[in-house]
Amino acid sequence: MVSGRGLFTTDPTPLMRFIAATAKPHRIHYVWPHTTRVEGYPWLVVHGPLSTLLLTEALRFAAPSDDVCALRHRNPAPLFCGHPARLIFALADDSASLPPRLRRDPAGRAVG
Residue-averaged pLDDT of the chain: 77
pLDDT in tens, 46-82: 988 888 888 788 777 777 777 777 777 777 788 898 8
Out of 23-27, 51-55, 67-71, 87-91, least confident range: 87-91
**What amino acid is encoded at 66 in this protein?**
D
Q: Which domain holds residue 99?
A: 2-104
Give one DSSP letter per residue of the chain, joined into a string.
Answer: -EEEEEEEE--HHHHHHHHHHHT---GGGT-HHIIIIIS--SSPBPPHHHHHHHHHHHHHHH-TTS---------SS--BTTSEEEEEEEE-TTS-EEEEEEEETTT--B--
Number of domains composing the chain: 1
Give the CATH number, domain containing residue 32: 3.10.129.10
The verdict on residue 112 lying in a domain is no
